[in-house]
Amino acid sequence: RNHNGGGKAARSPRALVLAPTRELAIQIGEEFRAYSKFMHLRQTVIFGGVSQRPQVSALSRGVDIVVANAYYSKRQPFLELDVEGVRRTLDVTLMGAFHVAQAGARQMVQQGGGGSILFISSVLSFMPFATSMPYNAAKAGMNHMANTIAAEMAEHRVRVNVIKPGWTDTPGERQFTTEEQMREGAKNLPWKRLGTAEDLGKAAAFLASDDADYITGATLKVDGGMTLQ
């Protein structure tokens, strides 16, 4: 069986994982490998700084799976936001995902079609969390961008899906939240814990696998029931 979301002959697929830090990209990539069926996965890791197209040139080497998870977020009240901070959030979070997805999709088409593109969005894309307006808006834009790309790429057998994590324990989250705050906050969540990179890796592995061959333009919430409250 092939594991690239299309009809190409079986071979070792190449995956690109895009995250705000190298550490998180590697962690998600390791979980992706561990919980996927790609036992011989050739993996490339890209991290951060992808708001400009030249910085995603590594995609030209061939790619079957793209996981776009770069973001920038600086939590400030709306009245205190500055234009440059908003622009940086949109450039990295929204435009960074666009650049990587388009470069990956073009490469997949050149390879004959087939592939999987995963956007890591957020439940904040539809929950108006205070002090996070630029990030919330960027993720909301990502959702609609992903669905539109899915509609266009279906003819090339490239599947495009979205994962919406809830409150997740990441290095980025720890910049804003203390260990005690996360521990106490987890008590108020239905699943009584925060999400992890392992949870995202499992979801990404499923959506990129043959088991999800008929799934495109879909959104998978990985939030432990957070949005049920």
Query: Which residues are known to be catalytic?
Result: 122, 135, 139
Residue 216 neighbours by CB under 8 Å, 6+ apart: 150, 153, 154, 159, 160, 161
Which pair of structure tokens corresponds to residue 181?
């705050």
Closest CA to 214 of 128, 154, 140, 162: 154
Label residues 154-164 b or e (16+ Cβ within 10 Å = b). eebbbbbbbbb
Q: Which residues pair with 82 in a beta bridge?
A: none
**What is the phi/psi pair of residue 171, to 5°?**
-55, -35
